[in-house]
Amino acid sequence: MPADVLPVAADVPWSDSLTAYDKAHFTIYMRFLDAAADNASYEEMADLILGIDPEREPERARNAARSHLDRANWMVTTGYKELFAN
């Protein structure tokens, strides 16, 4: 599970530019987009992708999942442009 390999923030560090966090967690973002397309709940995403137990930490699970999904959506609508610059 990627959460075991890379530290996962409770809230994604937000910036108007790509961050080191974005680059390190790109695969996680893609997993979030895939899960959202399959109508997974925030709780399911937090558990399966981030390794956060939504029963033990419901607020943290929901906030972390929402934060990562929001950033994943930003990546595919805006942030990707920086990947192809230069």
The answer to whether position 33 is within a domain reads yes
Tell me the residue type at 23. Answer: K
Residue 85 lies in a domain: no
| pTM to 2 decimal places | 0.85
User: What is the model's pLDDT at position 3?
Assistant: 44
Let me know if residue 1 belongs to a domain: no
Q: What is the pLDDT of residue 4?
A: 45
Please count the structural domains in the chain. 1
Q: Is residue 6 domain-resident? A: no
Q: Determine, yes or no, domain membership for 35.
A: yes
| 53 in a structural domain | yes
Identify whether 7 is part of a domain. no
- What domain range includes position 60? 18-80
- Measured CA to CA, the distance from residue 32 to residue 28 in angstroms comes to 6
Residues of the chain with pLDDT under 50: 1-4
